[in-house]
Structure 1
């Protein structure tokens, strides 16, 4: 907790420019009280944690968040508060909003709109994240969630594989068809952007990483640029490499033998793990609907087409639910959309069967239009 009232109802904000000697004087000269419950607070000036206010033991205040705050959370709030001040946005630190009984880390007004800034440093259950977001929106406040950066193995820049767990994925942002994640590192005072994210399987994504120092950030927050057509070619080649790397252990480690529907479909289609056509195992819009890597269901879709004497051009939307039942995939609306997108892509590429040939350059051009240029 970085904010308190003194005995004269003056607001005290603990900023980084306060020296420890100044804080010791402040502690001796004033009493401090919680802005929410008005109960006494103590100013803690230790050698390890950032100076902060804390409730006395056995307090009945219903928002004892300060005792649970991490060092990173306290420091991040200070850094963001000072940055918003430099932008002359008059930030309010740790305001309590009684109408929704929530306390964002920061509240700012920009172009007559209210924004709640939440710097999240610990896992937040989806139900609580959803409830807090709804609370802000119901109060006509736009929430902006900034997540503490925990990606220690990222390369400085460039296209790379990124692991985004299910808890972190709730903070994914979308803009004009692009999916990206924005995190913040308090030690480096640096934003990390993982942009142009494409789902591979489970918690693995392919995306482009770049850094942005806090001093170079802007508000509204920077939205990363879409990947260039030239960069997308590198992106596509890495996707194919991931597909090939996925296929070999998938074949060797399968314990189901002829009962493995994926391997059985490969056999019936006369396809091998080393000679898959380049249009099978490729990303499409809505690619995170399946946990499985897309090559799994795309191979089975081609086998479904073969068994029912269909082509992407002759398969209509009514047949898609039947495909899910036939392939033993649970159908959701999002998965149905993903299969629909893939069929439309195959139609555009004039693909008739799994044995067709397609030039890589043409596929890259069409995929770029589908995945990047949209919106």
Structure 2
């Protein structure tokens, strides 16, 4: 903690002290208690970790459920100073006794109060939801910011998102896509992650933007309309092809519903057409790989010969209800019907790639698309390359149109 009450019941904030010598002085002359539970706390002024207060025992403090890392202490201090620098009047570690919560930072803008939570350590979606509901009960808007140091981003632009990280994905009505807001307490910058394209359950191709916190407003964060490009798509297709080979190599035979479905339809995963598994905004909704859920739609279209969007959607929803297609536990905006959006976006993409033709309300498989099918395993790379060369611009334009 960065705050505590002294013997005079005055709130002492360690942010106001500029030197460790000052802190050593008050450590020797003062005693402190927690502003939430009123139990004794110790002022720790070491050489490595950020100076802070620590409970002698946290078990009786309802506002202290996690051990506090140095990264968290630095982040709270840095975010507090950032809000001050843009003309606001924040309060660090604001206690709300009515709900037994201590916000990392509280701040008012106009008539609205916000509780900023800088999250460094993993918590469950249940805990995160409970905290948010508590804040909303007091008409306080919670703002969750993930520590960038908690993420694993490779030099190739691949990031690992566990279920914990995925709780921080937010949907932008303006950009029509998900993004993730994070903050680096080491570099004092905001990092916004865009174009989140899943390539497995926990791995994503992303685009990252760094913003100096001095130029970052609150509460309306400036989001940049970053466009999909050929490098992103090329990387995505490369990982899709790796997924196909891996799925074939480590298949579980008839226990694998997807491979069994392909077999029943006289198809094989290694000859799966290059239009199954394209980068769509809707891919973010699903744990199930894009190649898999898009193939289910294609196989149903192929089997039924002609379908309305409504009938294809009904089939898709049934696959989701049966857990054949698995969705992510995202904070999906209430105005978005992700199933409708996914089917609509897929049909539009298939029309652009001349895989599907629309006549009135009916959709048909276009026989001309067969010229791009994969004839043999040996010719797969060539077929994929030819298809992507022909439709790369259409794929990018549809994604960016959103």
Is TM (by shorter chain) over 0.5?
yes
CA contact (8 A) 1:244 1:273 kept: no
Question: Which residue of the partner structure matches residue 299 of structure 2?
Answer: 303
Match of 2:22 in 1: 22
Deviates more, 1:69-78 or 1:264-273: 264-273
| Partner Cα distance (1:29, 1:93) in 2 | 24
1:192-231 counterparts in 2 under 5 A?
Answer: 192-220=191-219, 222-228=221-227, 231=228
Distance 1:215 1:322 in 2: 50
CA distance in 1, matches of 2:217, 2:177: 20
* CA distance in 1 between partners of 2:58 and 2:205 (Å): 48
Q: How many residues align?
A: 364
Q: Which residue of 1 aligns with 2:379?
A: none
- Report if aligned partners of 2:312, 2:343 keep a CA contact under 8 Å in 1: no
* 1-structure distance, mates of 2:58, 2:301: 67
Structure 2, unmatched stretches of 5+, are 328-336, 357-364, 373-385
Structure 1: any 5+ residue segments left out of the alignment? none
Aligned to 1:239: 236
| Equivalence for 1:317 | 310
Query: What is the aligned counterpart of 1:286 among 282, 288, 308?
Result: 282
Give the corresponding residue for 2:89.
Answer: 90
Matched ranges for 1:120-139 at <5 A: 120-139=119-138
Following superposition, the deviation at residue 132 of structure 1 comes to 1.1
Partner of 1:373: 401
**Counterparts in 2 of 1:1-375, with a 5 A limit?**
1-15=1-15, 17-57=17-57, 60-65=60-65, 68-149=67-148, 150-155=150-155, 160-175=157-172, 176=174, 177-220=176-219, 222-228=221-227, 231-256=228-253, 261-262=258-259, 265=262, 273=270, 276-277=273-274, 279-310=275-306, 314-322=307-315, 330=324, 334-335=338-339, 337-347=341-351, 349-350=353-354, 351=356, 352-353=365-366, 355=370, 360=388, 363-374=391-402
Deviation, structure 1 residue 89: 0.9
CA–CA distance in structure 2, aligned partners of residues 164 and 197 of structure 1? 10
- What is the RMSD of the two structures over their aligned residues, measured on CA atoms? 3.3
Q: The residue matched to 1:104 in structure 2 has which SS?
A: strand
Query: Which of 115-124 and 140-149 deviates more?
Result: 140-149
Instruction: Tell me: CA distance 1:325–1:44, structure 2 relative to 1, closer, same or farther (3 Å).
Output: closer
Structure 1 residues 268 and 121 mapped into 2: Cα distance closer, same or farther (>3 Å)? Answer: same
